[in-house]
A and B are shown apart, each in its own frame.
Chain A
């Protein structure tokens, strides 16, 4: 279905393009939000990405490669957005007016703070690899294709990101719960 929609959109069929946005938009937005950790930035990145997709679709030679191509453009748009805001910026998490801090009680407030701070120190490239693999569920070879680096580089970035995030939780645990280390 997707390949047919891509071919129709390549010919300028905006309804087919809308259908493609419907098919893939949510995943793209979810990934962009997690790479950028900011709803407004993700909004701009995804809008710019789909704009780019619409413009460049006629030049896509292999419609079956659309998904990889789309993700590549989304990730590039995230890089662009991150660099547009490259001054140091603290991320302030929007909180719901009512209800708990997190929808998932697995993550305590301290953990969340620690992870957010650690994630903010990763480069957009490291974040993208982490999100595409652990959130979007892409195999590493596909991540490498999307972000355009060798597989070894993907592994290195993933390894580094995981160490940083897990290190943040471990450090938080050590301070917040001293008996963990002394028991």
Chain B
């Protein structure tokens, strides 16, 4: 009888409740020791188990020098901005559109290597062409960053002339770092910003045309700093409205504009300060273009935050003029695909759309609503998506090249963006590894020192034409996308056995049981079963009361783990799978209760 099964909410609630509710005594003692070790709280020269390092306070003379320098900078900025106030060119009074180039554009990615201790070992900066080939255009060694900002980097943004800005965070502070990729040996400038502890989950910024950069100055993205990369001079941009937490997309002489997760534009008016009528104009380097020069905002309704037009469905597209009533864009010709993201095209009138197709294994389709009323769908890529449930919003636009030739898509679960040439009918390359940082014209990117062009390492099964049906009979099974060797186990667990079965023959035949073991279970066992194929792989053990566990391979996704309790005797494992399914069982032994 199936009615004995609790409803999902009850199951999730029970699962959530099942876990420790009391802090271990050892942790309690360590926290107490930490506070005892620091008689001066603000100095914070404390030790910690892994992450917190000492912060050495400046001597009093050093503090005086810092104060004097800051006062000097502030004075210079006040004088400078007052002089600039009357000479702002008229063209900066509109939001700055992306700067087009005669060159083909290349996407830029940043890849961070960690040391075994988790610090930043280095950042590889990579250019990606439309054909998917990659070239190294820089390597930033982690040792070039200040020690206080070497634990975590995010939010990379490349300028059109080859500077890279990124947020660098450490145990005692963080700042925006600026690197001139054209001069690999030049010192890195790191400008500190207020810190609230922890790593900021997001960092957003955009470059202006004059070498200045607007970077989020709080973890909530409600204040920004305009930073001069050459001098490190900082001008604070007043806070955005309290409910705005977004990405800056434009800063004209009167205001900064940012977009929230829900697509709502927020303005922080600068005109209120007569001393600073205009600070910076921005080129949009990352994210979709949601605002055009006349202030019209493009939005995609999200089921969570809702929609500017009442009663519209999730995925509805709206546009709203500066002071006008929002209207819904007709996307009915694109149904049943669902719009998950949108961006204005270069012409400021047409709209690029990312459509989601498929219920459980979602994949993106590129669409375009032309200013002439046309509705076109282009290539698609996939399938991929959440294997155990419907995916919401398969992907988001990470960036669009100034000439519209490339679109970078972020897809949850992939190690980096898909770089999508808009003129291509099908995607040419798999997902790339790294964090999207913007686009560079070829004339700039090709002049940067680095390596030669190479094919990217494959990061996922390459399925250029989407097809949600199971793989065709007779075709070779794709290789697993992750092997157990890449799995990090908790301390105390050690690899004791790996068994790989390469799928052969046709799917759909009888399942075959493969017995593996026995394994000594004296110290606890953990089984990791990954599989790739059209069917499933099932793991059972001969431990009394242990239930079978099934990994639904879903034609390209990786599986999960399975643990069994200690019984004191040897344990046999059995994997049951279709002969066409590729699976790998890895067994770890260790102490489950250290």
Contact = CB atoms under 8 A, between A and B. Distances in A.
Given A30-B21, A79-B199, A18 B2 contact: no
A98 B220 CA distance: 46
Contacts of A14: 32, 35-36
Nearest to B31: A50
B42 interface: yes
Given A14-B35, A43-B24, A183-B2, A107 B304 contact: no
Contacts of A6: none
A143 interface: no
A173 B549 CA distance: 12
A46 B27 contact: yes
A106 B8 CA distance: 10
Contacts of B14: 104, 106-107
A161 to B, nearest CB: 10
Given A44-B49, A97-B566, A106-B11, A51 B34 contact: yes
B325 interface: no
Contacts of B2: 177, 179-180, 183
A18 B389 contact: no
Nearest to A72: B196
A156 B305 contact: yes
A167 B261 contact: no
A166 interface: yes
Nearest to A159: B304
A88 B482 contact: yes
B260 A150 contact: yes
Contacts of A76: 196-199, 219
A38 interface: yes
Interface string B245-277: 100000000000000111000000000000000
Nearest to A109: B547
Contacts of A44: 48-51
Contacts of A94: 490, 524, 563, 592-594
Interface in B38-54: 38-42, 44, 46, 48-52
Contacts of B28: 21-22, 25
B35 A17 contact: yes
A101 interface: yes
B560 A135 contact: no
A65 interface: no
Interface residues of A, number: 109
Contacts of A22: 28
A39 B38 CA distance: 26
Contact of B490 (A92, A173, A176): A92
B10 interface: yes
A34 B20 CA distance: 9
Summarize B's interface: helix, strand, loop or mixed: loop
B550 interface: yes
Contacts of B171: 48
B389 A170 contact: yes
A interface majority secondary structure? helix
Band of interface residues on B: 35 or more
Contacts of B245: 148-150, 153
B310 interface: no
Contacts of B219: 76, 148
Interface in A81-116: 81, 83-85, 87-98, 101-104, 106-116
Contacts of A160: 304, 392
A138 interface: no
A4 interface: no
B31 A90 contact: no
Interface in B144-176: 151-152, 171
- Which has the most chain A C-beta neighbours within 10 Å: B2, B198, B487? B198
Interface string A52-77: 10111111000000000000110111
A57 B261 CA distance: 31
Interface in B6-27: 6, 8-24, 26-27
Contact of B16 (A59, A135, A148): A135
B204 to A, nearest CB: 13
A5 interface: no
A3 interface: no
A87 B547 contact: no
Contacts of B11: 106-107, 111, 115, 169
A171 B20 contact: no
A156 B393 CA distance: 11
Nearest to A10: B41
A49 B16 CA distance: 22
B486 interface: yes
B23 A80 contact: no
Interface in A10-52: 12, 14, 17-18, 21-22, 25-26, 28-30, 33-34, 38-40, 43-44, 46-52
A40 B488 CA distance: 13
B155 to A, nearest CB: 12
A51 B412 CA distance: 33
Interface string B550-572: 10100000001111111000000
Contact of B10 (A43, A106, A152, A168): A106
Given A149-B245, A150-B261, A113 B199 contact: no
Nearest to B243: A150
B121 to A, nearest CB: 13
A96 B392 contact: no
A125 B23 contact: no
B133 to A, nearest CB: 25
B519 interface: no
A115 B10 CA distance: 12
A152 to B, nearest CB: 3
Contact of A171 (B220, B388, B547, B549): B388
Contacts of B36: 14
B588 interface: yes
Contacts of B41: 12, 54-58
Interface in B56-112: none
The 10 closest A-B pairs by CB, nearest first: A167-B389, A156-B304, A76-B198, A152-B305, A106-B14, A29-B23, A55-B44, A166-B8, A168-B388, A117-B560
20 contacts: A18-B32, A29-B27, A33-B20, A34-B19, A43-B26, A51-B35, A51-B46, A55-B38, A73-B196, A76-B219, A80-B198, A87-B488, A98-B566, A104-B14, A113-B560, A152-B305, A165-B8, A172-B388, A177-B2, A177-B5
Given A48-B51, A76-B198, A163-B390, 6 more contacts: A33-B20, A54-B35, A79-B201, A88-B486, A93-B561, A117-B560
Interface of B: 2, 5-6, 8-24, 26-28, 30-32, 34-36, 38-42, 44, 46, 48-52, 114, 118, 151-152, 171, 196-199, 201, 219-220, 243-245, 260-262, 302-306, 386, 388-390, 392, 412-413, 482, 486-491, 493, 524, 526, 528, 536, 546-550, 552, 560-566, 588, 592-594
